[in-house]
Amino acid sequence: MAINKKEFADRMAENGGITKKAAFQAVGLFIDTLMDYLGENEKVMFTGFGRFEMRSMKERNGRNMSTGERLVVPEHRYVGFHASDVLVGKIDEREKQNRDK
């Protein structure tokens, strides 16, 4: 199941003891600011969390999965995220705790 922005903000409000409205605004501000920096080709790094950056994918041959038709996928840019080792370790720890319950 995917979590949407409202659900994320609701959990953030609950965890942070702030209003849902303030949390929703904070999430929106975070996303807008992240897009500003990525639009300027800046890497955005959060120690203990990870790094966001714009990456390029070269042109390549592909296939339309519905029709099987061969096509060329043009060069394009995308947002990449690299999780820090600290984040991965904390997630692994939480998953282990949830399995042990």
Query: Three-class SS of residue 33?
Result: helix
Q: What does the pLDDT look like over 40-80, one tens digit per residue?
A: 999 999 999 999 999 999 999 999 999 999 999 999 999 99
pTM, full prediction:
0.80
Q: How far apart are CA 87 and CA 93, in angstroms?
A: 10
In angstroms and rounded to an integer, the radius of gyration of the C-alpha atoms of the chain is 19
Q: How far apart are CA 100 and CA 92, in angstroms?
A: 12
